[in-house]
Structure 1
């Protein structure tokens, strides 16, 4: 792979090549990507979606929206730091093509901003609920009516693939979805492969999948434009990651490692003395003891250590990226950047404590149970109504359900796969509170 292709400004529908040196510096294409994401309705819905603590009524616990904003800030810094060094290493990127160091930051920031845009309500339990609906629930009846990869898309419903769908799916008046640059879409794609085959692999890009069958052709066009390395064949679509994807992933890893931990402390799920010890182990080399000892509240002490920890891990991720840049360009780097960090042990200690005390806390588990019930019920009612309507067997109740969800595409020509995926996509875009309201309506619960 080479940076000239990887930094492509191409957008869906372009007939002429976009050149960086011809860009308006006050309205740079990669920055337009950021604007389009942040003003989209899909992004705004993240303000009421679970990050870790579902339906939390406190004002300091993160939602998907605040998490995404923080990841994008960290991502911008990562990209800019890397960009400075890459422009020094490849001066022709600037002198001939016009690229600037901040372009790398703009791409990573935009991709990071969108990284959770496809996640359903109720956190990762929302993905599991959709998958279980098709594996063993009401949706399993459709298995024999779908191609193998189509069915697998539904059984392993993946927020990353759904995010790619949201960013690129055409609809009337919005051809090409958000019409982001191919560089940003490439950086967004953590798992550039289809849902099948599942193959045992230590390569991080094989951990999940990144696009549904409905977006396969567009993905292939993006992969070709960016010059991603083909790791599969026509029956097994799999490509190398865009190198900047590793920075997007690092930004996410840094934020959920440190900030989810901070949320757990502020909620009282993690005792302060344990928390401070774990964070100090990570930032011992940079802590100002005099300043730290002047802080009188838990929140201030944790906030100070969090800022130091994020800065430490940013610098560490940049160092690993630059040391491994040639391997990244040749698809020979197969793990997350922070997996090669000298702070790996400290990071793992923090994550283990978060898993035990936060992710597996009673509050989280109880609300995930609620999420399973809500999502399963919505999927059953909506898929039943959609498929019955497709088969011209819609009952009066089905017709009422369809009137309540006019957003769904009800064109007769769509396949069962597109109908089912459309329902999943619709449910995934609901906020936590909106999903509960619709659940109550279907159950006849008075408000």
Structure 2
């Protein structure tokens, strides 16, 4: 791969340059303004990051998380590519490329979660589970649906993925001018494709991070192929996808820890105990152990300073200061992971996360594991997720069963007809454009995708409101 192709300025729909010749922005800076002015981006303010249906004003939403990822990604871009330029690790990289790279990463951070459904990652899990449980039992025209659909079509539904949904939303569903979505640049779209494989190509045992999940749907295969062939990132990740992934990991792992302490899921003393006694043996070498030990010592020193200053909440103050320190450590480690493996990344052969090959790996693992143990496995979160599950079960059942018969010669009930009229006109239009000239099996697949498109576009609040209205709850 080379940066000339990786930073190509191609969009799905081109436009006349004469009208914008006086515009000093590069193409990727123009993407930024398209994103922040979009309704899809604004909806992230009412989508869960960790705590489903939470009414508190402190914890992160998808919007605040995306802003943090955007900031970290841009900072990483500056750190990494200044180093590459300074030490002449790539003779083709130009000074002007760094500004473009940072603009892409800034935008990628804003949209990386834009396809996620309501109620956090639990929502993704529930959609997958619902289709796995129900599609084999459903019929269309006297035949079982799982026998009518091609393997990749079934795989798309049963392995539903927010990453793939983001690509779909940005390129098709955000209907404004035409069917090209936001019409963003290809390098930006390629950066958010963390997993450049279809649902039939998922292989969690391959040893390569790119095969862990799917990155695009069967319905969007043509735009995917156009993107990767235009940027030159064929059968591999775009290099900037590694940086976006690291920024996302740093943002959510540090934020989850801070939010967990603030909400009382874990105390300062528990956090310190776990860091000292549970994760030290995860350090692979002396350098990683030193980095980890410094971080633990820093937490203790911040607490001591807070006590000395007579602060009313020394524990929370210490943790909040420590989180900022850890973010700096992990950013530096991620930058090292990228620059030290630059050749393999540019060749498309690097198979891991960049933090995993740095001295920050044990610290990042500790944060993620504690969030899982103390927050995600807590009774409070389980209760919230059970409530969210009731909403998903109801909405998926109502809309999927109605969608199966929609736009066919088969007769549907009066209620099913009314249910379909509730779906946004934009999504219906996108379906009809995609379904034109397709086989009956592919139309059926696209109608099922129409349901996930609609539900994924909902905010937490709207999904809850619609559930209550349709189920007759006051």
Superposition TM-score, scaled by structure 1 size: 0.90
Match of 1:157 among 131, 138, 160: 160
**Residue 24 and residue 368 in structure 1: after superposition, are their counterparts in 2 closer, same or farther (change >3 A)?**
farther
Match of 2:320 among 260, 285, 303: 303
1:235 corresponding residue in structure 2? none
Instruction: Tell me by how many angstroms 1:265 deviates.
Output: 0.4
Contact 2:256–2:371, Cα closer than 8 Å, also in 1: yes
1:262 corresponding residue in structure 2? 258
Aligned counterparts of 1:53 and 1:427: Cα–Cα separation in 2: 19
**Residue 131 and residue 139 in structure 1: after superposition, are their counterparts in 2 closer, same or farther (change >3 A)?**
farther
Instruction: Tell me by how many angstroms 1:26 deviates.
Output: 3.7
Match of 1:214 among 209, 215, 219: 219
**Residue 309 and residue 323 in structure 1: after superposition, are their counterparts in 2 closer, same or farther (change >3 A)?**
same
2:201 corresponding residue in structure 1? 197
Matched residues, number: 430
Aligned counterparts of 1:397 and 1:134: Cα–Cα separation in 2: 22
Alignment partner of 1:176 is 2:188:
no
Per-residue Cα deviation, 1:313-368 (whole angstroms, up to 9, x for no partner): 11111111111110101122111111112122222222221111111111211111
Aligned counterparts of 2:155 and 2:135: Cα–Cα separation in 1: 15
Match of 1:242 among 220, 238, 242: 238
Contact 1:23–1:29, Cα closer than 8 Å, also in 2: no
Match of 1:396 among 414, 428, 446: 414
Instruction: Tell me by how many angstroms 1:419 deviates.
Output: 0.9
**Residue 32 and residue 282 in structure 1: after superposition, are their counterparts in 2 closer, same or farther (change >3 A)?**
farther
Contact 2:329–2:360, Cα closer than 8 Å, also in 1: no
Which region of structure 1 is more displaced relative to structure 2, 6-15 or 245-254?
6-15
Which region of structure 1 is more displaced relative to structure 2, 29-38 or 169-178?
169-178
Contact 2:124–2:162, Cα closer than 8 Å, also in 1: yes
Which region of structure 1 is more displaced relative to structure 2, 301-310 or 341-350?
341-350
Aligned counterparts of 1:91 and 1:406: Cα–Cα separation in 2: 50
Contact 1:80–1:103, Cα closer than 8 Å, also in 2: no
Aligned counterparts of 2:310 and 2:72: Cα–Cα separation in 1: 25
1:35-434 maps to which residues of 2 (within 5 A)?
35-88=33-86, 89=88, 90=90, 92-94=92-94, 99-137=96-134, 140-141=137-138, 142-169=145-172, 171=175, 173-199=177-203, 200-229=205-234, 239-276=235-272, 278=275, 281=293, 283=295, 293-294=308-309, 296=311, 297=313, 298-392=315-409, 393-407=411-425, 408-409=427-428, 411=432, 413=436, 415-434=443-462
Per-residue Cα deviation, 1:89-133 (whole angstroms, up to 9, x for no partner): 246543xxx724232221111112111111111111211211122
Per-residue Cα deviation, 1:280-301 (whole angstroms, up to 9, x for no partner): 8463587876855537223322
Instruction: Tell me by how many angstroms 1:87 deviates.
Output: 3.5
**Residue 56 and residue 213 in structure 1: after superposition, are their counterparts in 2 closer, same or farther (change >3 A)?**
same
Aligned counterparts of 1:205 and 1:294: Cα–Cα separation in 2: 48
Contact 1:250–1:317, Cα closer than 8 Å, also in 2: yes
**Residue 374 and residue 327 in structure 1: after superposition, are their counterparts in 2 closer, same or farther (change >3 A)?**
same
Where 2:33 maps in the other structure, the secondary structure is helix
Where 2:327 maps in the other structure, the secondary structure is helix
2:4 corresponding residue in structure 1? 4
Contact 1:133–1:139, Cα closer than 8 Å, also in 2: no
Per-residue Cα deviation, 1:375-421 (whole angstroms, up to 9, x for no partner): 12112211222222323412211222122224341647461111110
Aligned counterparts of 2:270 and 2:447: Cα–Cα separation in 1: 49
Moved >6 Å (runs of 4+): 22-25, 285-288
Aligned counterparts of 2:453 and 2:421: Cα–Cα separation in 1: 17
Where 1:137 maps in the other structure, the secondary structure is helix
Where 1:193 maps in the other structure, the secondary structure is coil
Aligned counterparts of 1:51 and 1:282: Cα–Cα separation in 2: 29
Aligned counterparts of 1:317 and 1:379: Cα–Cα separation in 2: 39
Which region of structure 1 is more displaced relative to structure 2, 38-47 or 183-192?
38-47
Aligned counterparts of 1:332 and 1:193: Cα–Cα separation in 2: 15
Contact 2:201–2:214, Cα closer than 8 Å, also in 1: no
Structure 2 residues without counterparts, runs of 5 or longer = 139-144, 277-291
**Residue 55 and residue 291 in structure 1: after superposition, are their counterparts in 2 closer, same or farther (change >3 A)?**
same
Structure 1 residues without counterparts, runs of 5 or longer = 230-238
1:439 corresponding residue in structure 2? 467
Which region of structure 1 is more displaced relative to structure 2, 271-280 or 349-358?
271-280
